[in-house]
Structure 1
């Protein structure tokens, strides 16, 4: 299946925004070593895609709410079919079907953005000034030359951390500068990717379903760590796209989570008391140091009030227990 339609669509959005910034008066030439018209075109490529996908994002939040509401039933199934993984999976799939909940809906917006990411990756990788054929998905020769020489802080947007010396020479770039700019952006990309997943998990809590929890851990730790290696092959323009997308996601999630607050469950916040809890845990009756009862719980023995001794010459109160007075010799 040809992906040319994706490349043409990405190119059209980039060129449309670049023409808009040019018409507004954003400098086409480098200012502070940066061609802002092209950088803003990449940023607003993100805005365009996210606006289109906003209804899907709302469905994602609603699906996560539905999954969160099903957690008590999921936990019951786990207790009921403990040790029988096959039956548990069947029962859970039946539960999701009955309640019209889709566990994969939480990842749908990310999956829909993969073609955009791959399309931009492909387009920027073809911005090679040394190419004799500059027919790039509807780009004019002037637009091709302008984009292939576009830079951010003197590092070309088509360059990458792992660029070879030959590639850097064709782009007219300094290898050290490219590595510094690309390295910083990769670290920012990793950090913002982690924060987007962490923000959602802190608001909705960890899933009770082991499969969902595994997906959450992959999103939180696996993907950011994988970017440390894969980021070296991403063109700088693609990393700018990724960072901008993460920042947009952080703002969008914050707005949606305020408008549609998550359900209050035992897992909503770390340290929150579980459902049905009676309050702070009280000391056990047999707890205490070395298995003895705590001093506060050991009932005090009744102490008899002190009684003053009998007056001289008076009869004793309890003659049976009283001792006879010693005779004086």
Structure 2
């Protein structure tokens, strides 16, 4: 158990340093133009800046995702023919041949079943790194240590910074000082915003990129299940997320919504 924790810590360390370094860079820049270094809004804008950097870097991945989804749409007629061809055949050879033909179809159209999850999977290490950074703020302040690229002084500033009376490092489940009523209200509002934006962005992807035939496929039925499961998972998990993490994930969902609006879906080839 100890070894696995150490390995996970070693894997996450570079992500924690990068996440904190980007936040510190924005924080220092905002402080240089006159914002208070200890103000909660300075740190909030630093978290939003972190989102902008990560999502801008992921634009090529997002475009690849959309192209893969268009490929998934185009292969549905061929996939339906293949499924009809092997309908009722349950022997091992038929199932193996069907799997091979299915993979050949995916290669032909330049897509795969996991294309829709790629941007989220890439973001998750940064999400967990931010969670670890913000969750460790209070204990780091007590011990007088920094976290990642954040100095001990910046840790102290972050821990004492608030928006609407709620500390950015506080969570609904664990509190974290400040006005507890403000923590509850802001956490609940942010959890609702996070889950609603998560649902809307996933629904937009499905609605704008899939034909009726594609939406009726087994793969898309699974995607529809995820459409409802993921917001519930994030909503339940949100009670343990620091407010800063809720701001991060809500902002990245809003970025996705805006990005989907501006991308020329219908003009993009497979």
TM bin, normalised by shorter chain, reads 0.7 to 0.9
Structure 2 residue aligned with 1:44: 49
Q: For residue 128 of structure 1, give the secondary structure of its aligned residue in structure 2.
A: helix
Structure 2 residue aligned with 1:309: none
Please list every run of 5 or more consecutive structure 1 residues that lacks an aligned counterpart in the other structure. Answer: 264-329
Structure 1 residue aligned with 2:116: 106
Structure 1 residue aligned with 2:224: 217
Structure 2 residue aligned with 1:179: 184
Of 28, 33, 37, the match for 1:19: 28
Normalising by the residue count of structure 2, what TM-score does the alignment of the two structures yield? 0.86
Q: Which moved more, 1:95-104 or 1:44-53?
A: 95-104
Change (3 A) 1:229 1:175: same
Q: Deviations over 1:12-64 (max 9, x none)?
A: 0000010011112223454xxxx211000000100000111111111111111
Count, aligned residues: 253
Structure 2 residue aligned with 1:242: 249
Q: Distance in 2 between matches of 1:98 and 1:8?
A: 40
Q: Is the 8 A contact 2:172 2:187 kept in 1?
A: yes
Change (3 A) 1:47 1:259: farther
1:256 to 2:263 alignment: yes
1:225 Cα deviation after fit: 1.5
1:9 to 2:18 alignment: yes
1:217 Cα deviation after fit: 1.2
Change (3 A) 1:84 1:190: farther
Q: Distance in 2 between matches of 1:173 and 1:68?
A: 50
Q: Distance in 2 between matches of 1:115 and 1:260?
A: 32
Structure 1 residue aligned with 2:107: 97
Q: Is the 8 A contact 2:38 2:157 kept in 1?
A: no
Normalising by the residue count of structure 1, what TM-score does the alignment of the two structures yield? 0.72
Q: Distance in 1 between matches of 2:33 and 2:195?
A: 33
Of 180, 188, 195, the match for 2:193: 188
Please list every run of 5 or more consecutive structure 2 residues that lacks an aligned counterpart in the other structure. Answer: 1-6
1:211 Cα deviation after fit: 4.5
Q: Deviations over 1:253-276 (max 9, x none)?
A: 11114573689xxxxxxxxxxxxx
Q: Which protein is richer in helix relative to its size?
A: 2
Structure 1 residue aligned with 2:65: 60
Q: Is the 8 A contact 1:7 1:123 kept in 2?
A: yes
Structure 2 residue aligned with 1:144: 155
Structure number with larger C-alpha Rg:
1
Q: Distance in 1 between matches of 2:103 and 2:112?
A: 9
Q: Is the 8 A contact 2:38 2:160 kept in 1?
A: no
Q: Is the 8 A contact 2:16 2:132 kept in 1?
A: yes
Structure 2 residue aligned with 1:278: none
Q: Is the 8 A contact 1:75 1:209 kept in 2?
A: no
Instruction: List structure 1 segments (4+ residues) > 3 angstroms apart after TM superposition.
Output: 27-30, 87-90, 208-211, 257-263
Q: Is the 8 A contact 1:192 1:246 kept in 2?
A: yes
Of 73, 76, 99, the match for 1:71: 76
Q: Distance in 1 between matches of 2:83 and 2:215?
A: 9
Q: Is the 8 A contact 1:203 1:262 kept in 2?
A: no
Q: CA RMSD in A?
A: 2.1
